[in-house]
């Protein structure tokens, strides 16, 4: 699954209860067997680092699986949150496994081959507090609490030594959290020198959200499990709040409208403006240089920075308030799905949204074709369906389509796009109509035939048409399908001629290496 596919399928909600429709009563859905889902989410840290996490869930409904996106981001980095989108789709195989068989199958987090609790992997195949498990059958190790301290420094010279108590298998893993610890003090702070860690006098790492201690993946703990007060029910920092201390004390960040004057060495000037969610106006003002350099890399602040409180003054995020606040991708002033901006303020498939409050419009479907040529003279005319605001943006995809056919191909002088039928851009993989973000749709969800289970062209294949027909690309140095070899060319007398092994040679590998017998 490509990131391009994920980013366009923002907050896609798929309800899969076999034999039931979307409006089935809860009592019917409750007796259905759980299904396995492949899920992906984009995560972001306060320092701007991003990461795409993938996981599997066994639940009745993909919406339930998506609710765990925050926990998956926190498992990557404890201070990470979901960055505006999550996507779940049916996995293959769809069946969920059985605890105690030594195979880790969802919804199991571990499986050590027995049904005993107290050894790190519980009788229900969940990782027990104070342990870390891996492998299949799972091996579990006790986690130890460390007393750590790190020196943090900012670009303006501010300095602070920060202490924390991580729980990890050994101190080396605990030290890896140091950059996040500095960033939790100030987003631009970095580690200075080596962090210092030693086993704690209270080594137990059994933890529970709401006990007032910062343990495990918790980024806050305010002694309760009530969401909306800055520290969530799973002890994760909520957007728009700042939390510190043990127990955590959380306060809403203040919202400032800022503007600055920028100047370049050539005399060009600009006055960018932005909304800042900060502890106070001083930290908001520190963003001025970054805003100037977003405009031009060689720009400097030209002595003027102005920030004033906004109305409303709080940075706590509420979907439906008409403000587009991170991690929202849109906010059209309501919490309804189906209008382009979903009930959780994510852009819906087939729409483009802009502004605040967001105005969403359906994308149009275009049927496009282009002519491609390689340096050796080979040509092709790939066709695709594009969902865009207008035909100009659809045409910009021509080079990518040529390069998908052959990495050294170029556009050969023409691109044609016409409005497709149907003109809407809703999509379902397996319906035989390739619609973005699909790069193919052969009418099924079977992988290995050139068009994958999530309707993406598989490596080594060229797909075109509707339904898509996928053919092996001979000469791309990938051995797929019926190819007996592929040495990166179609030449004869080198052992592999048009992806067939020549008499007197043996070929192996991908790309293929052929040697005389």
What is the predicted pLDDT for the residue at 501? Answer: 92
Q: The tokens of 484 are what?
A: 């007996």
pLDDT confidence of 346, banded at 50, 70, 90?
confident
Counting every residue written for the chain, the total comes to: 517
What is the predicted pLDDT for the residue at 107? Answer: 66
What is the predicted pLDDT for the residue at 25? Answer: 32
Which comes out higher in pLDDT, residue 215 or 125? 125
Q: pLDDT per residue over 231-272, tens digit each?
A: 887 788 887 788 887 788 888 788 788 889 999 999 999 888
Q: What are phi and psi of 149, to 5 degrees?
A: -145, 140
What is the predicted pLDDT for the residue at 33? Answer: 55
Measure the CA angle with vertex 62, ends 57 and 64; round to 5°.
Answer: 75
- Element (H or E) spanning 258, and its range? strand 254-263
What is the predicted pLDDT for the residue at 5? Answer: 33
Q: pLDDT per residue over 208-238, tens digit each?
A: 677 777 765 678 888 887 777 888 877 888 8
Which is nearest to 439 in space by CA: 392, 478, 383? 383
User: Is the confidence at residue 330, as pLDDT, over 60?
Assistant: yes
Q: pLDDT per residue over 411-469, tens digit each?
A: 987 788 887 766 666 556 777 777 656 778 888 888 888 898 878 888 888 887 778 88
Q: What are phi and psi of 407, to 5 degrees?
A: -55, -25
pLDDT confidence of 27, banded at 50, 70, 90?
very low
| Residues contacting 244, CB < 8 A, separation 6+ | none
What is the predicted pLDDT for the residue at 489? Answer: 82
- Element (H or E) spanning 147, and its range? strand 144-153
Average pLDDT (45-70) is 75
Q: For residue 411, give the 3-state DSSP assignment.
A: strand
The dihedral through the CA atoms of 343, 345, 346, 348 has a sign that is positive
pLDDT confidence of 386, banded at 50, 70, 90?
confident
Q: The tokens of 466 are what?
A: 């509707």
Taking CB atoms within 8 Å and a gap of at least 24, the contacts of 336-341 are 337/13
The pTM of the full predicted model, rounded to 2 decimals, is 0.30
Rounded CA separation 444/427 (Å): 14
β-strands 241-244, 249-252 pairing: antiparallel
Residue linked to tokens 């765990």 = 68
Average pLDDT (65-76) is 76
pLDDT confidence of 77, banded at 50, 70, 90?
confident
Q: The tokens of 289 are what?
A: 């240089």
Cβ-in-10-Å burial (0-12, 13-18, 19+) of 490 comes to: middle
Share of the chain above pLDDT 90, in %: 5
User: Is the confidence at residue 164, as pLDDT, over 60?
Assistant: yes
Q: pLDDT per residue over 80-120, tens digit each?
A: 888 876 678 877 666 666 788 777 776 677 888 888 888 88
User: Is the confidence at residue 21, as pLDDT, over 50?
Assistant: no
Share of the chain above pLDDT 70, in %: 82
Tally helices (H) and strands (E) across the chain: 10, 27
Q: The tokens of 19 are what?
A: 């034999």
- Per-chain mean pLDDT for the chain: 77
Rounded CA separation 322/331 (Å): 5
Which is nearest to 419 in space by CA: 369, 368, 366? 366
- Element (H or E) spanning 480, and its range? none
Cβ-in-10-Å burial (0-12, 13-18, 19+) of 271 comes to: middle
What is the predicted pLDDT for the residue at 345? Answer: 81
What is the predicted pLDDT for the residue at 262? Answer: 92
Rounded CA separation 504/516 (Å): 6
Rounded CA separation 472/163 (Å): 57
What is the predicted pLDDT for the residue at 514? Answer: 92
Beta bridge partners of 133: 140
Beta bridge partners of 39: 55, 88
pLDDT confidence of 174, banded at 50, 70, 90?
low
What is the predicted pLDDT for the residue at 99? Answer: 80
What is the predicted pLDDT for the residue at 422? Answer: 64
What is the predicted pLDDT for the residue at 146? Answer: 79
Beta bridge partners of 186: none
Helices (H), ranges, 106-249: 171-175, 178-185
Judged by average pLDDT, the poorest of 67-76, 269-278, 312-321, 489-498 is 312-321
Cis ω for the linkage preceding 515 (within 30 of 0): no
Rounded CA separation 20/422 (Å): 27
- Cα end-to-end distance, the chain, whole Å: 40
Neighbours of 279 (CB within 10 A): 12
User: Is the confidence at residue 284, as pLDDT, over 80?
Assistant: no
β-strands 241-244, 269-270 pairing: unpaired
What is the predicted pLDDT for the residue at 424? Answer: 64
Spatial strand order in the sheet of 50-59: 50-59, 35-44, 81-90
Residue linked to tokens 């996995």 = 91
Rounded CA separation 227/207 (Å): 19
Measure the CA angle with vertex 121, ends 117 and 125; round to 5°.
Answer: 95
What is the predicted pLDDT for the residue at 327? Answer: 65
Exposure string (b/e) for 289-302, b if CB count within 10 Å is 16 or more?
bebbeeeeeebebb
Using alpha carbons only, how large is the chain's radius of gyration in Å? 27
């Amino acid at each position: 699954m490509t990131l391009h596919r994920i980013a366009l399928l923002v907050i896609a909600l798929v309800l899969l209860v076999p034999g039931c429709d979307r409006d089935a009563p809860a009592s019917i859905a409750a007796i259905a067997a759980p299904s396995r889902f492949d899920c992906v989410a984009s995560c972001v840290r306060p320092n701007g680092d991003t990461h795409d996490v993938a996981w599997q869930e066994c639940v009745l409904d993909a919406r339930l699986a998506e609710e765990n996106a925050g926990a998956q981001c926190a498992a990557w980095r404890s201070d990470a949150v979901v960055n505006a989108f999550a996507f779940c789709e049916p996995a293959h195989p769809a069946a969920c496994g059985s605890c105690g068989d030594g195979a880790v199958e969802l919804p199991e987090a571990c499986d050590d081959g027995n049904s005993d609790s107290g050894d790190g992997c519980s009788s229900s195949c969940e990782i027990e507090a104070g342990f870390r498990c891996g492998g299949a059958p799972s091996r579990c190790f006790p986690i130890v609490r460390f007393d750590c301290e790190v020196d943090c420094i900012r670009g303006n010279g501010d300095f602070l030594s920060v202490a924390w108590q991580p729980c990890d298998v050994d101190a080396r893993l605990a030290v890896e959290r140091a950059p996040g610890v500095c960033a939790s003090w100030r987003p631009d702070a970095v580690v200075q020198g080596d962090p210092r860690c030693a086993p704690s006098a209270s080594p137990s790492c059994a933890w529970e959200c709401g006990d007032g201690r910062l343990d495990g993946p918790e980024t806050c703990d305010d002694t309760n499990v009530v969401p909306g007060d800055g520290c969530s029910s799973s002890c994760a920092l909520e957007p728009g709040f700042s939390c510190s201390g043990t127990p955590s004390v959380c306060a809403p960040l203040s919202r400032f409208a800022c503007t600055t004057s920028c100047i370049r060495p050539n005399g060009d000037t600009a006055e960018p403006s932005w909304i800042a969610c900060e502890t106070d106006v001083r930290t908001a003002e520190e963003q001025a240089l970054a805003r100037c350099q977003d405009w031009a890399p060689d720009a400097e602040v030209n002595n003027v920075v102005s920030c004033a409180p906004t109305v409303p003054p709080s940075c706590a995020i509420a979907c439906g308030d008409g403000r587009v606040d991170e991690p929202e991708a849109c906010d059209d002033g309501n919490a309804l799905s189906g209008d382009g901006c979903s009930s959780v303020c994510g852009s819906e498939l087939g729409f483009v949204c802009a502004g605040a409050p967001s105005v969403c419009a359906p994308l149009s479907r275009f049927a496009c074709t282009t002519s491609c040529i390689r340096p050796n003279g080979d040509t092709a005319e790939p066709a695709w369906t594009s969902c865009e605001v207008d035909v100009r943006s659809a045409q910009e995809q021509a080079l990518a389509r040529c390069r998908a056919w052959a990495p050294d191909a170029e556009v050969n002088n023409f691109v044609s796009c016409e409005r497709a039928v149907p003109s809407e851009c809703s999509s379902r993989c397996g319906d035989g109509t390739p619609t973005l973000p699909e790069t193919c749709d052969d009418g099924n969800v079977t992988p290995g035939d050139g068009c994958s289970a999530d309707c993406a062209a598989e490596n080594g294949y060229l797909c075109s048409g509707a339904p898509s027909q996928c053919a092996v690309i001979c000469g791309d140095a990938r051995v797929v399908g019926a190819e007996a070899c592929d040495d990166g060319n179609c030449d004869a007398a080198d052992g592999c001629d048009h992806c067939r092994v020549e008499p007197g040679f043996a070929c192996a590998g991908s790309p293929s290496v052929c040697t005389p017998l």
